[in-house]
Amino acid sequence: MTDPSLLHRIEAAVARIEAAAAAQRKESDSLARRHATLRETMTRAVAALDEIISGSPETSRQTHFRTIAFQAAAIVRDGKLAAPPLDYEQPIPAGCAATYHAQRDPFAQTGSPALADGLNLGRQLHFLDTLDPALLSGDATILLWPQYWAWRFSGVAASEVTSLGCHSDLWCPASGRPSALAVRRGWADRLAPLRHAGEAIGTIGAVWASDTGLPADTAVYCGLHDSNAALLAARHLEPLRQLKALYVDCGNLDQFHLWRDWRKIARIVPIAVIARPGYDRAAHAGGAMGWLRRFVRPASQRKSWTNWRLPALVLLRFRPDPTSATRLRQADPHWHRDFAARVPRDRVTRLPVS
């Protein structure tokens, strides 16, 4: 005779499984809706920026790349992206992180502190290697995030010191060479040739030129890490004289009055400020806006903003997206496995990532 209590426990377990499955389906539907909203928002944002850039032929002749914070390493192989890049907030399993930590070089050699999640690039590479030991096989090349985009647009792979030296564990600033860890793990051999941040490494590819309407001789520059770009702008005026426009977000505007000769900068180049949730109020009440406020131009005139009499500032606002990237990753920590057998495509252009 079957024990009634056993049947009750089985039924209760089945009910819990069904409830969990229903909750997961609901969460998946919610994630899909949020992803769709995010794609729509990004499409509008890119279209608005394209509209601004297309208004000045001179601006579109040069393409520079800098990236926000320290994003990720991109691994390319056979002319294609070998795996979706990790976000620096990607949680790394504790055991994997501990194994990597034991291999790190001293801070005195690399200047890289031990940081959480994937903020140390070496930790990202170590984690990817545990997931797929063959990822760095063949002609695989490690690209830093600004140089990944330069490669996407020009087809030329390059490395650059401000990105390599940004708490990556891969670079020794004093010697100007890859770290001992990078050499031991074979990552140094996978780095693209070193180029200067301000060096034109190639011209925009034919497909990109056709899709964007940019001139075929548009130069693509190597690019640099965003903090170093901000420091360069704050300390030197001459590089800014070569620009047709300067893009900053409200986080930068809030500190703009701390930049060296910031009023001179405003007289050299028009400034576009992109709204950033959580920073707008402080930026608009900041020290710089007390002087810049009189030079704000309406966003409706943005098509000709590079021809405005200086100083000139335009405030660009897009509908904020409430999606939290961190929560999306926490809800599906193994999201990258879904892409293993699929051809990655650009979320905006829908072109294959290659």
pLDDT score at 169: 92
CB 62 within 8 A of CB 221: yes
Report the alpha-carbon distance of residue 277 to residue 271 in Å, rounded: 19
All domains of the chain in start order, with CATH: 22-56+244-329 (no CATH), 62-224 (3.30.420.40)
CB 72 within 8 A of CB 89: no
Of 113, 200, 217, nearest to 165 by C-alpha is 113
pLDDT score at 27: 57
pLDDT score at 182: 93
Q: Walk along the chain (354 residues) and give the pLDDT tens digit of each residue.
A: 555 666 677 677 767 777 776 666 665 555 556 556 555 654 555 455 445 444 444 444 555 544 444 445 678 888 888 877 777 777 888 888 899 999 999 988 888 888 888 888 899 889 888 888 888 888 889 998 888 888 988 999 999 988 888 888 999 988 889 999 999 999 999 999 999 888 889 998 888 878 767 788 888 888 888 777 766 666 666 667 777 777 777 777 888 888 878 898 889 888 888 877 777 777 778 888 889 989 988 878 767 767 788 998 888 776 766 666 667 777 777 766 665 556 556 555 556 655
- What number of other Cβ atoms are within 10 A of residue 319's Cβ? 10
Q: What is the largest CA-CA distance in the chain?
A: 92
pLDDT score at 349: 55
Residue with tokens 């790190």: 104
Lookup: tokens for 230? 């901000």
Long-range contacts of 280-287 (CB under 8 A, 24+ apart): 280/250, 282/250, 282/254, 283/250, 283/251, 283/253, 283/254, 284/250, 286/253, 286/254, 286/255, 286/256, 286/257, 287/256, 287/257, 287/258
CB 150 within 8 A of CB 104: no
